[in-house]
């Protein structure tokens, strides 16, 4: 094997976002583009020579080609071993599991998560550290700075290897081991949950469920765990085959993009339990028969019922949520007498808290929930957590949620997304809100009085690092909130997310439609930020 040093020119657009670098496939296919970014990752790291790197992805278009390039670059840069998922497949939570189990130096995950796939759609790449979690901001910033100055990269001239069969192969001095992408993760799930109770529930003849894998990575995992190890009937897992373009569907598990499952769960003969996961397996949506569970409520309910699950039977060290996530889990933490941390959006912010043992469960409103078992959010884990609770409590999803509201109150919550808006307009909107935070405090809008307004800043309690400009918060005297932030997960234009929340304890209103209960706040959220003026949109694209 010869090592080639290739001269290159830097690209100016390789700053990683909250979940790595995401661009259109055709951008990554440009000569040197992927190679530049991978070399910038390696240049930002120290002490990896002879160490193990984990690589895998969500199966989207260009995953297989990217894996071969990364293998050759890892060999040329001195890694001793690469562990990769067979077929270039490895869900994001499974990659975290594998990094941690085999004590790897780190990992490269090939995914654009819930973004569409295909030759004209999206691709992504991110680096995860030795704890299995997304790289810290100081590393991603170093990668970006190095990408601006790069002038060469190193790659071997070795032939492509067989990535479709298990076992070890050699690439020069480096070992490449292709592993079953499902086995390690499935074994871990069996250690966390009460599989006997879940197996009994699924085999009772009186309970049914449907899991929509959305033609994405979670299909093989769900088939192995739900249909094989838990003996759920064949066909429980829908759209189970990972496809490079996700079958032309949008692999985002929400009410707008999982319409088939939503229709099934609202039918006259609906299953008792429905769930879905996204492109790379780290998100989840939970449904009961004719009942939708918001991600914020889901996190709170998992925390309130954690002791029913073997892995968490001794209780929780603490919980954490992203700032835009509703305050439902805060109320649970208050009752349990444990700490609740509010962090910026992005799973990497939970990593320090998990590593320090300060929290056990964490989650964000964008359909992500997780715990200390890995350092990523984990869609199928959340589904199994719910299934375990259902098996123990022997109540329906709706009954469990309504009981929770009666005990803790309800944080009525919605998120309005304005997708693909002009970046300049979205940035101007945020800049205008930021400039008016001081003057908004104390103002009254209808029945709402602004108690506080700020641009959220976070100081990490473990390493004292700070993150500023994480979203505009308008906090009202009655406990209601409106939050505005721009999402970093898209590849075209900007996505403005508006989060609207209000506590409700009136038993007569607990089950009302959030859009009805929040109607005044929804109108206020649009008018205060002048959304139509800045974006040209008078209604959101997606409501969850």
**pLDDT above 90 covers what percent of the chain?**
91
Say what the pLDDT of residue 489 is.
60
Q: Report how many domains make up the chain.
A: 3
Distance CA 231, CA 224 (A): 9
Residue ranges making up the domain that contains 291: 185-408
pLDDT tens string 104-156: 999 999 999 999 999 999 999 999 999 999 998 889 999 999 999 999 999 99
End-of-domain residue from the set 408, 427, 445? 408
Say what the pLDDT of residue 24 is.
96
Distance CA 69, CA 312 (A): 41
CA distances for 325 relative to 170, 488, 540, angstroms: 46, 16, 19
End-of-domain residue from the set 385, 408, 431? 408
Say what the pLDDT of residue 493 is.
82
Whether 396 and 486 share a structural domain: no
Whether 116 and 58 share a structural domain: yes
pLDDT tens string 272-311: 999 999 999 999 999 999 999 999 999 999 999 999 999 9
Whether 365 and 450 share a structural domain: no
Say what the pLDDT of residue 217 is.
97
Whether 272 and 376 share a structural domain: yes
pLDDT-based confidence at 409, cuts 50/70/90?
A: very high
pLDDT at 343 over 80: yes
**Average pLDDT estimate for 69-79:** 98
Q: Residue 42: which CATH number?
A: 3.40.120.10
Say what the pLDDT of residue 386 is.
98
Whether 172 and 234 share a structural domain: no
Whether 366 and 477 share a structural domain: no
Nearest residue to 502 via CA among 524, 482, 525 = 482
pLDDT-based confidence at 19, cuts 50/70/90?
A: confident
Judge contact between 8 and 153, C-beta under 8 A.
yes
pLDDT tens string 419-465: 999 999 999 999 999 999 999 999 999 999 999 999 999 999 999 98
pLDDT-based confidence at 80, cuts 50/70/90?
A: very high
**Is residue 113 flagged as an active site residue?**
yes
pLDDT tens string 311-339: 999 999 999 999 999 999 999 999 999 99
pLDDT tens string 167-205: 999 999 999 999 999 999 999 999 999 999 999 999 999
Residue of 91, 113, 147, 289 marked catalytic:
113
Whether 156 and 218 share a structural domain: no
Q: Residue 444: which CATH number?
A: 3.30.310.50
Say what the pLDDT of residue 348 is.
85
Distance CA 208, CA 74 (A): 46
pLDDT at 236 over 60: yes
Residues 6+ positions from 331 with CB-CB distance below 8 Å: 300, 408, 409, 411
Whether 333 and 379 share a structural domain: yes
Whether 20 and 156 share a structural domain: yes
Distance CA 465, CA 136 (A): 10
pLDDT-based confidence at 491, cuts 50/70/90?
A: low
pLDDT at 492 over 80: no
Whether 357 and 416 share a structural domain: no
Whether 371 and 228 share a structural domain: yes
pLDDT at 407 over 80: yes
CA 475 to chain centre: 26
End-of-domain residue from the set 158, 179, 200? 179
Whether 378 and 416 share a structural domain: no
CA distances for 50 relative to 75, 78, 81, 82, 95, angstroms: 10, 6, 7, 10, 20
Say what the pLDDT of residue 542 is.
85
């Amino acid at each position: 094997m010869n090592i080639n040093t290739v001269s290159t020119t830097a690209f100016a657009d390789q700053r990683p976002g909250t979940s790595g670098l995401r661009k259109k496939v055709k951008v990554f296919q440009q000569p040197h583009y992927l190679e530049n970014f991978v070399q910038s990752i390696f240049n930002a790291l120290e002490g990896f020579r002879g160490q193990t790197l984990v690589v895998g992805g969500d199966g989207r278009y260009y995953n297989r080609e990217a894996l071969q390039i990364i293998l050759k670059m890892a060999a040329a840069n001195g890694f001793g071993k690469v562990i990769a998922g067979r077929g270039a497949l490895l869900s994001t939570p499974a990659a975290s599991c594998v990094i941690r189990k085999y004590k790897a130096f780190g990992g490269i995950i090939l995914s654009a998560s819930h973004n569409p796939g295909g030759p004209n759609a999206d691709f992504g790449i991110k680096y995860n550290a030795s704890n299995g979690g997304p790289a810290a901001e100081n590393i991603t910033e170093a990668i970006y700075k190095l990408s601006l100055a790069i002038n060469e990269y190193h790659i071997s001239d070795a032939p492509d290897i067989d990535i479709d069969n298990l076992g070890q192969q050699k690439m020069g001095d480096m070992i490449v081991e292709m592993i079953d992408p499902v086995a390690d993760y499935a074994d871990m799930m069996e250690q966390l949950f009460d599989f006997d109770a879940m197996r009994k529930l699924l085999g009772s003849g009186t309970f049914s469920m449907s899991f929509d894998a959305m033609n994405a990575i979670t299909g093989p995992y769900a088939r192995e765990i739900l249909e094989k190890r838990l003996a759920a009937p064949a066909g429980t897992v829908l759209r189970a085959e990972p496809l490079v373009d996700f079958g032309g569907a949008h692999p985002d598990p929400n009410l707008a993009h999982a319409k088939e499952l939503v229709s099934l769960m609202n039918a006259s003969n609906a299953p008792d339990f429905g769930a879905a996961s996204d492109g790379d397996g780290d998100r989840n949506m939970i449904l009961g028969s004719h009942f939708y569970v918001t991600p914020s409520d889901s996190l709170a309910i998992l925390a309130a019922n954690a002791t029913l699950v073997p892995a968490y039977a001794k209780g929780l060290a603490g919980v954490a949520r992203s700032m835009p996530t509703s305050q439902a889990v805060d109320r649970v933490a208050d009752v349990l007498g444990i700490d609740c941390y509010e962090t910026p959006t992005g799973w990497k912010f939970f990593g320090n808290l998990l590593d320090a043992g300060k929290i056990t469960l964490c989650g964000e409103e964008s359909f992500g929930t997780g715990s200390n078992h890995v350092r990523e959010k984990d869609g199928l884990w959340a589904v199994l957590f719910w299934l375990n609770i259902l098996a123990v409590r022997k109540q329906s999803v709706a009954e469990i949620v309504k009981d929770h509201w009666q005990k803790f109150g309800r944080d009525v919550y919605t998120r309005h997304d304005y997708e693909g808006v002009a970046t300049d307009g979205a940035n101007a909107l945020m800049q205008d809100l930021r400039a008016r935070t001081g003057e908004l405090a104390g103002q009254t809008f209808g029945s709402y009085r602004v108690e506080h307004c700020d641009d959220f800043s976070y100081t990490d309690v473990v390493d004292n690092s700070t993150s500023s400009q994480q979203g505009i918060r308008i906090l009202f005297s009655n406990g209601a909130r409106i939050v505005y932030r721009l999402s970093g997960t898209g590849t075209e234009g900007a996505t403005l997310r508006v989060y609207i929340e209000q506590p409700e304890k009136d038993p007569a209103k607990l089950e009302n439609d959030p859009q009805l209960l929040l109607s005044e706040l929804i109108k206020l959220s649009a008018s205060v930020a002048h959304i139509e003026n800045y974006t040209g949109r008078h209604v959101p694209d997606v409501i969850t």
